[in-house]
Amino acid sequence: MTLLAVIVAAGVTGFLGVKARTARSHTTRSGITLEVHYAQVGRAGLDVPLEITVHHPGGFGTDDVVLAISNAYLEIFDRSSIDPQPTSETATASQLIWTFDPPPGDTLVVSIDLQVQSGRHAGRSGTVALLDTDGKPTASTSFKTWLAP
């Protein structure tokens, strides 16, 4: 009975629900800030946030914005949409690489609509990187999503 009461209390208080967090990376050389707002805790079948924000003081000019995200992280989710849509998408063995047109202003916000796949009970670590024209990371941040039972 005590175990059942603890589980019910955890559910009622939202302890087993989605908890979000933001990971940041800032480069002093170029002043670029990369932020990833993600689900620190999620559950199978629930929608979870994933929002990537790139801030480049003075704007992006004519340069495309290229983001790389780890494939292993995305494998635990069903992906419905990306807003804005990338102009191109490619993949390596370990990363999904999206290319976006440079936005007006100095901030690009990319929202990815995700839902944790049913039957998933183990979380994953992920990495998002901003790549330069040579494909080298200029800013990178890592994070982990835990999946509650």
- Read out DSSP for the chain? -HHHHHHHHHHHTTTTS-EEEEEEEE-TTT--EEEEEEEEEEETT-EE-EEEEEE-TT--TT--EEEEEEHHHHTTEEEEEEESPPSEEEE-SSEEEEEEPPPSSSEEEEEEEEEEPTT----EEEEEEEE-TTS-EEEEEEEEEEEE-
Assess if residue 67 is contained within a domain.
Answer: yes
Residue 79 placed within a domain:
yes
Place of tokens 């019910």: 8
Answer yes or no: is pLDDT of 11 > 60: no
Over 80: is that where the pLDDT of 85 sits? yes
State pLDDT tens for residues 60-69: 988 899 999 9
Would you say residue 7 lies in a domain? no
Q: Residue 26: inside a domain, yes or no?
A: yes
Residue 60 domain boundaries:
17-148
Number of domains in the chain: 1
The reply to whether 76 falls in a domain is yes
How far apart, in Å, are the Cα atoms of 130 and each of 7, 90, 124, 136? 41, 15, 20, 8
Indicate whether 8 belongs to any domain. Answer: no
Whether residue 105 lies inside any domain: the answer is yes
Average pLDDT over residues 41-55: 90
User: What's the confidence (pLDDT) of residue 4?
Assistant: 65
Q: Over 90: is that where the pLDDT of 25 sits?
A: no
CATH code for the domain in which residue 74 is found: 2.60.40.3670
6 located within any domain = no
